[in-house]
Structure 1
Amino acid sequence: MTSQAERLRSKRIKQRQYAGRPAKEGVERYPGGQIKHTEREKEVRAVAIEARQRVYFKGKEVSNDMVSSPYAGYVLGRLFLDGRITECEREAGDAYATQMVRYYGLTGISFPSARAQSLFSIKGFDGETTSERARMAREASNRMMALEGTLLRLEDGPRVKTTIYNTCLLDLEIMRTMPDAQLLWLKRGLKELHFQLGLAKSKEAV
């Protein structure tokens, strides 16, 4: 006959065994019992893909490959996946955004899209610390002004520039459903940028 102390001890052991949520089944584990990192990555990836599907492709028949594509992570890329812009135009938009990010980073100006960074870390640097950084910042500024001048000289230049700014830099989701007239401004600017950024040898090749 077991004593009361033994019964209580047995009860506590059983409670420890079933405490918390049940262990996951069907996952690979290390010898120590910890779930392997690859399994955790798969779980995180599945959650991210499901969230993209729900937010950006709701009601659309798209493959998992399309949803998991790097292009599905930003508005210009999603316009490309939607078939509204060509690969050349997407490349131009990506290159333009890269040049602008370089400009903002070197000059110490906060990037205009707060969603792309920590709101508590938005600040410039204290000033030019080396002549090399000053030279790089000056070159980036000149490049930025040249690109903006290129866009403004086009037909409907201010509208073209604003459309590209809102799509490529601010990454506004509403730009994904822009009307056809505004899409023409976007495509006009991206085609010109494709040539100006050296991605094509001639405008006719775009």
Structure 2
Amino acid sequence: MTSKAERIRIKRASKAGRPRKADVARYPGGQIKHGETEREVRSVAIAARQRMHFSGAKGVDAGSPFAGYTLGRMFLDGKLTAHEREAGDEYARQMARYYSLTGIPFPSVRAQSLFSVKGFEGETTAERTRAARAAANRMMELEGVLLKLPEGPRVKTTVFNVCVMDYEVLRTMPEPQLAWLKRGLTELHWHLGLSREKEAV
């Protein structure tokens, strides 16, 4: 038979601390396995994106892939059409390809990994040289298309700053600058043949 003091000690030991969490993954030692699910991480990121970029807007899907960059946010704002956004995305892809194949660091600071080694081996293969030359020619061709437009240097700079540099401040650009952007993206849309691809499908 146990004494009264022993019974009190057992009672206190069984009720000590907060109640044990049920239905939680645990290590063999009893500690809770901490880990966030993909849905929890995604919800935090979407809430931050909503707070940062769409604070006053109602009904905007902050989880959309277009909400992750300036050109896409301008599309969601209704300032750009779908074909203009497609042209901007393709222009950005072509420029990124040019930078990666030629070994030039990407110009946007946000896209850089400051402590990683950039470039490629000193000796290049003929295939890589051919691909780099083709990418450089393509980049110069696209820049030429933009520069031939009325007010070409302004159009080219605006398209580059929105599509490649991803400057958020340009989301609220004045109407004349928005007209340059739309002019450049429309011309790129036709030059890149995106309209013909749609018709073929």
- Relative to the length of structure 2, the TM-score reads 0.83
Taking the aligned partners of 1:196 and 1:122, their CA distance within structure 2 comes to: 35
Task: Specify the alignment match of 1:56 in structure 2.
Answer: 53
What amino acid maps onto 1:114 in structure 2?
Answer: V
**1:144: Cα distance to partner?**
0.3
What's the secondary structure of 1:139's corresponding residue? helix
The structure 2 residue matched to 1:110, chosen from 96, 101, 105, is: 105
CA RMSD between the two structures: 2.9
Residue matched to 2:189: 194
Change (3 A) 1:166 1:128: farther
Corresponding residue for residue 42 of structure 2: 45
Return structure 1 stretches of 4+ with deviation > 3 angstroms: 10-15, 28-35
The secondary structure found in structure 1 opposite 2:194 is: coil
Task: Look up the equivalent residue of 1:155 and give its one-letter code.
Answer: P
Alpha-carbon separation, structure 1, partners of 2:138 and 2:101? 12
Amino acid at match of 1:44: V
> Please, which of 164, 176, 184 is the counterpart of residue 181 of structure 1?
176
Structure 1 pair 7–61 and aligned structure 2 pair: CA distance change class (3 A): same
Match of 1:169 among 152, 164, 188: 164
TM-score, reference length from structure 1: 0.81
C-alpha change, 1:139 and 1:175, in structure 2 (3 Å) is same
Contact 1:75 1:173 in 2 (8 A): yes
Structure 1 position 122, deviation (Å): 5.8
Q: CA deviation at 1:11?
A: 4.9
Partner of 2:86: 91
Which amino acid in structure 2 is aligned with residue 87 of structure 1?
Answer: A
For residues 13-49 of structure 1, give each alpha carbon's deviation from its aligned partner in whole angstroms, at most 9, with x where no partner exists: 945x67xxx85x8xx76698758x8x71111111011
Residues in 2 aligned to 1:163 and 1:49: alpha-carbon distance in whole angstroms: 28
2:129 is matched with which residue: 105, 119, 134?
134
Contact 1:110 1:122 in 2 (8 A): no
Give me the whole-angstrom Cα distance separating, in 2, the residues matched to 1:29 and 1:100: 48
Match of 1:158 among 153, 157, 160: 153
Rg (Cα) greater in structure: 2
Residues 156 and 34 (structure 1 numbering): CA distance in 2 closer, same or farther, change over 3 Å?
same
- C-alpha separation between the residues in 2 aligned to 1:128 and 1:143? 23
Distance 1:170 1:122, change over 3 A: farther
User: Secondary structure of the residue that 1:112 maps to in structure 2?
Assistant: coil
Q: Percent identity?
A: 57
Are the structure 2 counterparts of residues 128 and 76 from structure 1 closer, same or farther at C-alpha, using a change threshold of 3 Å?
farther
Structure 1 residues 48-90: Cα deviation after superposition (integer angstroms, max 9, x where no partner): 1110110000122124xx1110000000000000000100000
Partners of 1:82 and 1:178 in 2: CA distance: 13
> Post-superposition shift, 1:196?
1.1
List runs of 5+ in structure 2 lacking aligned partners. 197-201
Q: How many residues align?
A: 189
